[in-house]
Chains A and B, each alone.
Chain A
Amino acid sequence: MSPFTGLKNALAAWRARKHQVPFTVLFKKFKSILERNNLVLELMADMGDKLGGEYVFDQQYILDSCDRLLDQVFKLVSDLAVLRQRKNVDLFLAGERIQHQIREELAGRRAPGRTGPILPLAGLANDLGDECGNKMANLGDIRNILGMPTPEGFVITTGAYLAAVERGALRQRISQALSGLRLGDEAGLREVSARLRQEILGLALPRVLARAIAAAARDLAERAGPLLAVRSSAWDEDTLSSFAGMYETRLGVRPEGPGGVVDAYREVLASLFSEDALRYRLYRGLEGDEPAMAVGVVGLVDARASGALYTYAPLHDHDQAMVVSAAWGLGKPVVDGTAETDTIVLHRNPPHAVLSREICPKPQRMVADPAGGVLLEDTPPELRDAPCLTPAQLSELAEAALTLERFFRRPLDVEWAYDHDGKLVILQARPLRITPRDPQACADPSLAAKDARVLLSGSGAAAMGGVAAGPVYKARPGADLDDFPYGAILVAAHSSPRYAKVMPRCRGIITDVGSATGHMATIARELRVPTLVGVDGAFRTLRPGQEITLDADRKVVYAGALAELCRSDLAKEDVFEESREYRLLKRVLKRITPLTLVDPNSPDFTPARCATCHDIARYVHQKAVEELITLSATHLERHEGAPRRLSSSLPLGLTLIDVDRGLADTATGEEVRQEDLRCVPLLAIMEGLARAGMWEIDPARVDLKSFMSSMTRTFGADQAHPERMGRNLAVVSREYLNLHLRLGYHFTVVDAYIGDSLNDNAIFFRFMGGVTELVRRSRRAVLIAAVLERFDFRVQVKGDMVTGRAKKHPSAAMLDKLRMLGGLIGYTRQLDARLDDDASVQRHLDEFLSTFSAPKEAAP
C-alpha cells in the first residue's frame, strides 16, 4: 500500500466518525505517533552510524533504509491527521517533496541544495561538494576549517548552471547527446563536443544570474584587486577522477565588460564538454552521471613565486620524500609543464630536510597583464638564476602541505603561491594517485607493523580512524599548550574540547578517558585527526618525546615511527569516504537528518518549512502533544481520561491524563494533589526533582528572564484553556509515564514503563535545548550525555539533542535512573547561563553526581 492510499483511508476513517472518536482511541493514536517518532529517530541514527567507517553496507541497505524511513514518515503524517481530525495537506505535500528529493538522489540525479546561485568562499561550510564542486568545496574547507590562507572569492553554484541549461531544454539535449557517445567513436565525440560547447557559449544566462555574478565580481575586485581568476569546479573533478587540466581556467579576468567574468564563466562552463573531458568521462565510466559545473571566481594572487607540491614524490628513489616545483610569477607554466622550474625534494618528516635541490635558470616568468589576461615577460637578471624559495619558506610550505594531506587523508598535489609580502597562499589541493614503485612494498600492510613493538592495544574507541606517527606530547591538566610542537601526537588523561586549538598542528590524539560521541571527538572528526579515546593507561605508558605510531582503525599504538604503515594508509586503493555508497548515503542523509525546525514558538514552525524527515517528525510530535492537551481538555464527557491539573510545590504546570490507575480513586475534580499520584515512574521523577539542591537553586538571572518569557510564549493561541490547563503534559498509568516537559527553552520527553516484568522495563529520555548559542548548547549536551552514560543509558548525541535509552534493568535500578532524570531536568533548567567554559562542564558533572551517585558497576 502506498503511503498516499494509507493517508486517504485514514482521512476517510475519521471523516465518518468525526466527533465520535472516543478519547481512548485518540490516545492510542497519540501513543502510536510517539512510537513511530522514536522509530524514525532510531532509523536516522542508524543510518548516520553507517558513515562512521566501522560498518560495511551496500546500496541495498541505503534503498531499504530510505523505504522504511519514508514509510514511517508518511504514517506519522497520517496518524497526525487522524489525531487532529484535520487533513494536513501542507504537511503531506512537504513529505512528498522530501520523498521526491530522496528518490531523485537514489536514482543518481543529484539535486543540489537550495542555495542561492552564488556562495562566498568565506561561507562555504562542510559538504557543499554538490553545490560548489569538489575543487571549490575543498578550498572552502582549507580556508574555513583549517584556517589556512586562500584567495578571496565566491562560487557560482552547480544549481546556477543547471538552472541556466534548463532554459530552452538544453539540459535535455545535453543528456541525449551524451547518452549517444561511445568510447572509440572519435568523430561522434568531436561532433558532440563542438555542438555542446557552441550551445553553452551562446547561452543567454538568466538575467538575475548575470547581474548577481557581475555584482559579486565587482565587490570582489574592490577587495582583492582588479584582476580575477575564473576556475572550473565540476562534479567529479578533483576526486580520484581528477579531470586534471581538462577544464578551463581563465586568469587575469576583469570583473565586467567584454571578456569579463560573465564571459569567462561561459567559457569555463563550455569546457565541461571539451573533447578531452568527454573522452575521460567515457573512460572512467561516468557516462550515466549528469555533468554539472560550478565555477570559482577568486582574486588573482599577485605572486612573486608559485608552483606545485606533491606530498609523495612518485619518481624519486627516497621513500619518504615530497617534491616542490617552483617558478617566478604565476604558477600556470609550472602546472602545464611548460616552464623551467626549481625542483626541491624534501623529507616528509619534520624538520623536512632538503634531500636534493635543483635550481634552474628561469629566463621567463608569467605575470598578470594589467590590461587583462596574462603575459610572459623576461625575468629580472638578479632573479634568473636565484632559487625561488628560502629554506624557511620551504619548511612552511612542507608543513602546510602535510597538514592538508592529513586532512584529506590522501597524498596531494598542492598548488601554492607566495605573494610579494612573502605570504603563503594555498590555491588548490587535489588528490594525488600514487602507485608504489615496488608493488610488493605496499601489497601487505600487515607486514608494515609486523616487527613493531606494541605499546598499547585492544582498548579504546576510534573517534576518528587513520594512522599517524610522531613524537608524544603529554598534555598536563590546565596547561595552555602553547608549546605544542608541530607534528606531535597529543596524549591526555581526559579528552577536552580545549585541545581543538592544537588540532591543526597535531597528527593524532590519544586519551585515557573520553567518548567517541563527545565534543572533542566531533572536532577531531571535523579536522580528521586520527583519534583514539578511552585507551587504558595511555597517559601512564607513553613518555614525552617518544616516537610512536597510532593506528586508530585497529586501536593499536606501536613504538617508533612506522613509515610503511603510514604510507599504506595513505595509499589505500579506496578511501571509504570516496566510495559511491558513502557519498550516496551522505547525500540522502542531507534530506533526512538535519533539524531545521527548532523553535516551536517561531512563526517558521510550519509544515511548509519542513525540509527533512527529521523536521516532519519533530513537527508531528510537537503538534501531537499540543493536540492531546487540547483534545482532552475539550472532550465532551468527563471520564477517567479527563485532564487534571497537578498541584504541587514544584512549579511544573503539569496536566495529567490518567489512562489506568495512575491516580488514587479518591482523587476527584480538576485538581489533583501530589499525594494522589500513584504513577510509579512519575513519583520517582518528582522525587528526583525535589531532591535537595536541585530545584531550590535560584535560576541565574538571565535564565529566569528567558524562563519567564518562554512561559508567556509557549501558550499557542489554539490551546483551549491556557489559564486553566498547565503547559506540560503527563500521560500516566500505574506503571507507565509519558511526560512532555517544556521548561525554559528546554524540551524534555520521558517515556517510561516500570512494572513487574523485568523485560518490559524501559526508559526513553530525550532532551532538546532551545535557542542558546551553539557552544553552550553543545556543552550542555556533553554534560547530559556524560550523566546518562554514568547511569548506563545508551546515549546518542545529535547536535543539541540527547537521547538516552535504558532497558530491562531491575525495577529498583530503573527507579534510581528516573530519580536521577528528575534531578537532571531540574538541574539543567538553570544550567545554560552557568556553562561559561568547558571546564565548568566537569565541575557541574561532579556537582550533579555528588547528589545522584551513579551505580557502582557502571564505571567503564
Chain B
Amino acid sequence: MSDRRTSILVLDDEPIVCKRLRPFFSKAGYEVETFGSADEALARVRERAFDVVITDLKMQDMDGLAFLTKVKEIHPDTGVIVITGFATLETARESFRQGVFDFVAKPFKLADILDSVRRVEKEKGLGA
C-alpha cells in the first residue's frame, strides 16, 4: 500500500486514443501523460520513470517496438502494454521478448485497458 499514484504514459499517433485515455485514467485516479510522437515520449521517459507505458505498435512514421525496447532499457521496471490493431504473431512474439506485459487489441473497451493496467499494478505491488 502506498499513497503514491500509479503513473501512466500513453503513446499513440491517433489523437483520439490519447484524448480518450487521458481523462479516463485521470478520472480513475491515475497520473497520466499522453504523447502523439515517439520522440517526445522518449524524451519524457529519459526525464522520469513511469510505472506503466501504453503504446501502439505500428504508427505512421514510427516504430512502437523500437520505442518500447528503449523504454525497457532505460527503466526495466516499467510495465509495457501494447495496444494495436495489426498484431501479427511475429510482432507479438518479438514484443513479448522485449518484456511487454500485455496486449490489448484495438478497438478495445475502456474497462479492458483498465484491467490490464490493474494487472501490472498487482504484479508490481503498485496502487492502493
Within the complex, which residue of B16, B27, B111 is in contact with A54, where a contact is CB–CB below 8 Å? B111
Query: Which residues of B sit under 8 angstroms from A57, Cβ to Cβ?
Result: 16, 106-107
Q: How far is the CA of A59 from the CA of B16 in the complex (A)?
A: 9
- B26, A445: Cβ atoms closer than 8 Å: yes
- What residue of chain A has the Cβ atom nearest to residue B114's Cβ? A554
Query: Which residues of B sit under 8 angstroms from A553, Cβ to Cβ?
Result: 27
- A55, B28: Cβ atoms closer than 8 Å: no
Given contacts A64-B85, A580-B16, is CB(A56)–CB(B23) below 8 Å? no
- A55, B107: Cβ atoms closer than 8 Å: yes
Q: Mark B8-48, 1 if CB is under 8 A from A, else 0.
A: 00001010110111110011111000000000000000000
B62 located at the interface, meaning its Cβ lies under 8 Å from any Cβ of chain A in the complex = no
B120 located at the interface, meaning its Cβ lies under 8 Å from any Cβ of chain A in the complex = no
Q: Mark A557-581, 1 if CB is under 8 A from B, else 0.
A: 0000000000010001110100111
Within the complex, which residue of A54, A56, A450, A554 is in contact with B21, where a contact is CB–CB below 8 Å? A56
- B110, A55: Cβ atoms closer than 8 Å: yes
B125 to chain A, nearest CB (A): 20
Query: Which residues of A sit under 8 angstroms from B111, Cβ to Cβ?
Result: 54
Query: Which residues of B sit under 8 angstroms from A844, Cβ to Cβ?
Result: none
- B19, A579: Cβ atoms closer than 8 Å: yes
- B26, A444: Cβ atoms closer than 8 Å: yes
- B110, A61: Cβ atoms closer than 8 Å: no
B113 located at the interface, meaning its Cβ lies under 8 Å from any Cβ of chain A in the complex = yes
Query: Which residues of A sit under 8 angstroms from B30, Cβ to Cβ?
Result: 446
Q: How far is the CA of A450 from the CA of B3 in the complex (A)?
A: 13
B108 located at the interface, meaning its Cβ lies under 8 Å from any Cβ of chain A in the complex = yes
Within the complex, which residue of B19, B26, B107 is in contact with A50, where a contact is CB–CB below 8 Å? B107
B4 located at the interface, meaning its Cβ lies under 8 Å from any Cβ of chain A in the complex = no
B97 located at the interface, meaning its Cβ lies under 8 Å from any Cβ of chain A in the complex = no
Chain A interface extent, by class:
20 to 34
- B85, A56: Cβ atoms closer than 8 Å: no
B8 to chain A, nearest CB (A): 13
Q: How far is the CA of A445 from the CA of B17 in the complex (A)?
A: 19
Q: How far is the CA of A580 from the CA of B14 in the complex (A)?
A: 11
A60 located at the interface, meaning its Cβ lies under 8 Å from any Cβ of chain B in the complex = yes
Q: How far is the CA of A224 from the CA of B49 in the complex (A)?
A: 66
Given contacts A50-B107, A61-B85, A61-B107, is CB(A56)–CB(B20) below 8 Å? yes
Q: How far is the CA of A474 from the CA of B110 in the complex (A)?
A: 31
- B109, A579: Cβ atoms closer than 8 Å: no
A599 located at the interface, meaning its Cβ lies under 8 Å from any Cβ of chain B in the complex = no
Q: Mark B67-79, 1 if CB is under 8 A from A, else 0.
A: 0000000000000
- A572, B23: Cβ atoms closer than 8 Å: yes
Query: Which residues of A sit under 8 angstroms from B12, Cβ to Cβ?
Result: 58
- What residue of chain B has the Cβ atom nearest to residue A555's Cβ? B111
Could you tell me which residues of chain A, from 565 to 609, have a CB within 8 Å of some CB in chain B?
A: 568, 572-574, 576, 579-581
Query: Which residues of B sit under 8 angstroms from A572, Cβ to Cβ?
Result: 23
A789 to chain B, nearest CB (A): 20
Query: Which residues of A sit under 8 angstroms from B29, Cβ to Cβ?
Result: 446, 450
Q: How far is the CA of A581 from the CA of B15 in the complex (A)?
A: 10
Which among A56, A60, A64, A581 has the greatest number of chain B C-beta atoms within 10 A? A56
Within the complex, which residue of B85, B108, B109 is in contact with A60, where a contact is CB–CB below 8 Å? B85
- A446, B20: Cβ atoms closer than 8 Å: no
Q: How far is the CA of A57 from the CA of B21 in the complex (A)?
A: 11
Q: How far is the CA of A59 from the CA of B106 in the complex (A)?
A: 11
What count of chain B residues pass the 8 Å CB interface test? Answer: 22
Q: How far is the CA of A568 from the CA of B29 in the complex (A)?
A: 13
A780 to chain B, nearest CB (A): 30
- A56, B27: Cβ atoms closer than 8 Å: no
- What residue of chain A has the Cβ atom nearest to residue B31's Cβ? A444
Within the complex, which residue of A50, A60, A446 is in contact with B28, where a contact is CB–CB below 8 Å? A446
B88 to chain A, nearest CB (A): 15
Which among A446, A572, A573, A579 has the greatest number of chain B C-beta atoms within 10 A? A446
- B20, A576: Cβ atoms closer than 8 Å: yes
Q: How far is the CA of A572 from the CA of B24 in the complex (A)?
A: 10
- What residue of chain A has the Cβ atom nearest to residue B83's Cβ? A56
A434 to chain B, nearest CB (A): 15
Q: How far is the CA of A441 from the CA of B45 in the complex (A)?
A: 27
- What residue of chain B has the Cβ atom nearest to residue A569's Cβ? B27
Q: How far is the CA of A57 from the CA of B19 in the complex (A)?
A: 11
Q: How far is the CA of A58 from the CA of B20 in the complex (A)?
A: 10
Within the complex, which residue of A56, A443, A444, A554 is in contact with B108, where a contact is CB–CB below 8 Å? A56
- B85, A54: Cβ atoms closer than 8 Å: no
B89 to chain A, nearest CB (A): 19
- B27, A58: Cβ atoms closer than 8 Å: no
- What residue of chain B has the Cβ atom nearest to residue A46's Cβ? B107
- A445, B108: Cβ atoms closer than 8 Å: no
A564 to chain B, nearest CB (A): 12
B106 to chain A, nearest CB (A): 6
- A574, B110: Cβ atoms closer than 8 Å: no
Within the complex, which residue of B28, B107, B110 is in contact with A58, where a contact is CB–CB below 8 Å? B107
- A573, B107: Cβ atoms closer than 8 Å: no
- B16, A56: Cβ atoms closer than 8 Å: yes
Q: How far is the CA of A572 from the CA of B27 in the complex (A)?
A: 10
Query: Which residues of A sit under 8 angstroms from B21, Cβ to Cβ?
Result: 56
Query: Which residues of A sit under 8 angstroms from B20, Cβ to Cβ?
Result: 56, 574, 576, 579
Query: Which residues of A sit under 8 angstroms from B110, Cβ to Cβ?
Result: 54-56
Could you tell me which residues of chain A, from 44 to 69, have a CB within 8 Å of some CB in chain B?
A: 50, 54-61, 64
- What residue of chain B has the Cβ atom nearest to residue A442's Cβ? B26
- What residue of chain A has the Cβ atom nearest to residue B21's Cβ? A56
Given contacts A59-B14, A60-B14, is CB(A554)–CB(B113) below 8 Å? no
- A56, B26: Cβ atoms closer than 8 Å: no
- What residue of chain A has the Cβ atom nearest to residue B20's Cβ? A56
- A58, B106: Cβ atoms closer than 8 Å: yes
- B85, A445: Cβ atoms closer than 8 Å: no
- B106, A56: Cβ atoms closer than 8 Å: yes
- B16, A446: Cβ atoms closer than 8 Å: no
- B107, A554: Cβ atoms closer than 8 Å: no
Q: How far is the CA of A581 from the CA of B19 in the complex (A)?
A: 11
26 A/B residue pairs, CB under 8 Å, sorted by A: A50-B107, A55-B108, A55-B110, A56-B17, A56-B106, A56-B107, A56-B109, A56-B110, A56-B113, A58-B12, A58-B16, A58-B106, A60-B85, A61-B85, A64-B85, A443-B26, A445-B27, A446-B26, A446-B28, A446-B30, A554-B28, A572-B23, A573-B22, A574-B23, A579-B19, A580-B16
Task: List residues of chain A with CB under 8 Å of any chain B CB.
Answer: 50, 54-61, 64, 443-446, 450, 553-554, 568, 572-574, 576, 579-581
- Additional pairs, 15, CB under 8 Å, beyond known A450-B29, A572-B23: A54-B109, A55-B107, A55-B108, A56-B17, A56-B106, A57-B16, A59-B14, A60-B14, A60-B85, A61-B106, A444-B26, A445-B27, A446-B28, A446-B30, A579-B19
Closest 3 CB pairs of A and B: A57-B107, A446-B29, A58-B14
